[in-house]
């Protein structure tokens, strides 16, 4: 029997009804049809790696279908990435068809109708990935469904090799390790899709980086009140390295710390211009991450050419 990669105990199914129920339990509601009249033997195991849910399957020849009716009930968009280990699978979605041979992987969206046919003794891994986990890659994921990608080279090879190694070491890995490994795998998958689905120039990658930059700036703008807001904290939140974070901001002509302070000062200047607010300037500074009112005043003057007190007085005078 073909050895399983996952270390979790496998389940064996030798009849259609329990297998159909098992498939729906592992994934989403699906219609399942055997392709031959012979023995119907299926083996499945599942495991989690950080935010990734991974299922390993060795199956008899069959066809599974996510009908339009079933897809319309989906509460969220979940992508399934299939890595073919042996045998062959065929994915059909959005009017396209992709044949996956060993060493290839493909993608499909459970929020849209699809069909997957597998040959006898097909052996493959299925990763379930929520669209929220891959938001910056979404435009490319939409174009990548039902296409075959090679996992023998480039970022896909790194992703799938890392996945197989991590699965073999699980559950001996710490929660922090599996979280970061899963994030790295997702980034490599996204990069591979980006490279092979219409973004084979630097402009495509630049779009992704701009989307990441906008997400990070939005996070900063929503947390200006937090005195603990820092470069290290932001890098950890988005699971990127400090070096990569600095590179994103460098492309915009500034550093992360410059952006944080500038956003805080702009917010304070806007609030100081509101004559209906009567908060003390020192209170306003503390509420926007400044631990020292003198440092706030100095930074405000350096950026806007006047002190916070002078700026507030000017705004009050302008409406008299």
| Two tokens, residue 286 | 């503390």
Residue 106 has pLDDT above 90, yes or no: yes
Q: Given this structure, which CATH class describes domain 201-320?
A: mainly alpha
Contact 136, 211 (CB under 8 A): yes
Q: Which of 75-79, 208-212, 227-231, 310-314 has the lowest mean pLDDT?
A: 208-212
Residues 172-229 have pLDDT tens digits of 888 878 888 888 898 888 888 877 765 544 455 676 777 788 888 888 988 888 888 9
Section 270-275 average pLDDT = 81
Nearest to 229 by CA among 248, 256, 254: 256
Q: State the CB neighbour count (10 A cutoff) for residue 91.
A: 22
- SS3 label, residue 63: strand
Residue 239 has pLDDT above 90, yes or no: no
Residues 38-61 have pLDDT tens digits of 789 999 999 999 889 999 999 999
pLDDT score of 202: 44
DSSP state letter for 285: H
pLDDT score of 13: 96
DSSP state letter for 132: G
Section 84-102 average pLDDT = 96
Environment class of 90 (CB within 10 Å of its CB; exposed 0-12, middle 13-18, buried 19+):
middle
Residue 157 makes CB contacts below 8 A (sequence gap 6+) with: 151
Residues 13-34 have pLDDT tens digits of 999 999 999 999 999 999 999 9
Residue 171 has pLDDT above 70, yes or no: yes
Q: Beta strands of the chain (E only): which ranges? A: 11-13, 31-34, 42-49, 52-59, 62-66, 78-86, 89-93, 96-100, 104-109, 114-118, 122-130, 148-150
pLDDT score of 197: 61
Section 131-155 average pLDDT = 83
Q: What is the percent of the chain where pLDDT is above 70?
A: 94
Architecture in CATH for domain 11-199: Sandwich (2.60)
Q: pTM of the full predicted structure?
A: 0.67
- Using CA atoms, how far residue 242 sits from 205, 230, 234, 261, in Å, is 19, 11, 9, 18
What residues does each domain of the chain span? 11-199, 201-320
Residue 133 has pLDDT above 80, yes or no: no
Residue 286 has pLDDT above 80, yes or no: yes
Contact 170, 49 (CB under 8 A): yes
pLDDT score of 36: 80
CATH topology of 11-199 equal to that of 201-320? no
Query: Phi/psi at 104 (nearest 5 deg)?
Result: -120, 160
């Amino acid at each position: 029997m073909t050895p399983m990669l996952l270390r979790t105990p496998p389940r064996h199914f030798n009849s259609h009804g329990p297998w159909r129920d098992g498939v729906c339990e592992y994934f989403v509601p699906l219609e399942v049809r055997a392709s031959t009249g012979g023995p119907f033997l299926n083996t499945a195991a599942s495991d989690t790696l950080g935010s990734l849910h991974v299922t390993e399957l060795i199956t008899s020849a069959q066809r599974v279908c996510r009908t339009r009716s079933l897809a319309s009930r989906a509460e969220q968009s979940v992508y399934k990435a299939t890595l073919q280990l042996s045998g062959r699978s065929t994915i059909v979605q959005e009017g396209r068809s992709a044949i996956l041979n060993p060493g290839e992987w493909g993608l499909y969206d459970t929020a849209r109708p699809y069909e997957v046919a597998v040959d006898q003794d097909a052996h493959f891994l299925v990763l379930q990935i929520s669209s929220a986990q891959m938001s910056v890659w979404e435009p490319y994921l939409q174009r990548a469904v039902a296409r075959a990608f090679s996992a023998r080279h480039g970022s896909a090879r790194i992703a799938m090799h890392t996945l197989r190694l991590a699965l073999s070491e699980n559950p001996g890995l710490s929660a922090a390790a599996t979280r970061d490994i899963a994030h790295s795998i997702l980034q490599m998958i996204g990069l591979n899709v980006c490279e092979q689905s219409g973004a084979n120039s630097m402009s495509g990658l630049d779009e992704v980086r701009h989307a990441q930059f906008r997400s990070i700036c939005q996070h900063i703008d929503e947390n200006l009140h937090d005195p603990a807001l820092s470069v290290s904290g932001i890098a950890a939140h988005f699971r990127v390295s400090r070096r990569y974070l600095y590179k994103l901001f460098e492309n915009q002509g500034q550093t992360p710390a410059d952006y944080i302070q500038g956003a805080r000062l702009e917010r304070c200047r806007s609030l100081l211009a509101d004559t209906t607010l009567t908060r003390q300037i020192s209170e306003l500074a503390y509420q926007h991450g400044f631990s020292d009112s003198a440092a706030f005043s100095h930074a405000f003057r350096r950026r806007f050419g006047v002190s916070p007190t002078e700026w507030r007085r000017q705004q009050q005078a302008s409406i008299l």
